Amino acid sequence: MRSLFLLSIVSLFCVQCMNFEDVRRRRTAPEVRDLPRQAREDNVGLRRRVIVLPFLNLSPYPSDNAANIARNSLVSYLNQTGEVLVLDVNDLATDITSYQEEDGYNIKKLLPVIRKVGAHGIVVGRIKEIKTKKIGDSVGVFRKVKAQVKTLVDIEMYSVKSGSILASEVRSATIEEDVTRVAKQSYMDDELRDNPVLIRSVVNAAFAKMVPSIVRALRKLNWEGRVALVRGEKVYLNAGRLSGLQVGDLLRVTEAKEEVFDPETGSYLGNIRGRMKGTLEVVSYFGKDGAVTIVHSGSGFNENDIVEFY
């Protein structure tokens, strides 16, 4: 009887250990998440990748706050279109301010740096003017002030491939909003210029009008990526799911385009398409925005070869 009791205790202990081990395995197992098959909508092509440089405030009242709010506003609008992928400026791994000039950036010097991250376009934004005016006031502990804010902004977008300007636009916007002051004297006009709510509202209104022009200009550019690494039967690309590539997509691979110059004058004539090497099929993704492909046809693929949608 005693032996039977001990056997029961041992059996119960073993069962508990098995349950604990099962729970422990479930807790330490890697998290697996299913990704939807579609990386882009059926009616939308691959996303053009853009670098939006830090905006410049050229108004008589320079404020980094206003410039940052304006840039973040445009980045948000562009990403919402589904046709543009705004790359992180930090991916450039360089001090952008060292390329800054009096009223812009030295785009010619920036181009080689930006080409390394596979961007298609560069956007430069400027705040040329911000004017604020108090047009109404009230009395009491909670003072409601009616403010008017005007801004003048401009945008330039460059092709990373050629360095030429794809779009240039100047826009203005005016808003009127109520702001509240608690237990303090009423706002002075210059204080309103640093109000983030007012600045956000007016730059949102100005830059929202520019998004269609930027998207239209980007559509004129052929989408292309690059071969980042060739390892055995797999070819890794510098563009992936975020750029809109889907598993099963076929991509054409060509040699890097070659620059052609006039033999007499030495002037630049343009680029010619490199030799076609074959096609690749997207089978998976890696990293932040990379794609894993296998050879569908052809051979001789090398790093820096150009890939285009087939």
Name the amino acid, one letter, at 235: V
Are residues 82 and 44 in contact, defined by beta-carbon separation less than 8 angstroms? Answer: yes
Give the pLDDT score at 131: 83
260 Cβ neighbours under 8 A, 6+ residues apart:
268, 269, 270, 271, 272
Give the pLDDT score at 307: 95
Handedness of CA 58, 116, 37, 297 (dihedral sign): positive
The model's pLDDT over 28-73, given as tens digits with 9 standing for 90+, comes to 433 434 455 555 555 557 899 999 999 998 887 766 688 888 899 8
H helices of the chain, where? 2-28, 64-80, 107-115, 189-192, 196-208, 211-219
Looking at per-residue confidence, does 40 or 238 come out higher?
238
The model's pLDDT over 89-121, given as tens digits with 9 standing for 90+, comes to 999 989 999 999 888 999 999 999 999 899 999
The model's pLDDT over 163-206, given as tens digits with 9 standing for 90+, comes to 899 999 999 998 887 766 543 444 454 556 667 778 888 888 88
Dist CA 225 CA 131 (whole Å): 43
Reference 173, options 54, 84, 85, 73; nearest CA is 73
Is the pLDDT at 301 greater than 90, yes or no?
A: yes
What average pLDDT is seen over the chain? 80
Is the pLDDT at 137 greater than 50, yes or no?
A: yes
Least confident of 136-150, 226-240, 263-277: 136-150
Is the pLDDT at 224 greater than 70, yes or no?
A: yes
Reference 50, options 166, 132, 200; nearest CA is 166
Domains, the chain, in order of start with CATH, read 48-219 (3.40.50.10610), 225-309 (2.40.10.410)
Least confident of 18-32, 87-101, 213-227, 285-299: 18-32
Whole-model pTM: value is: 0.76
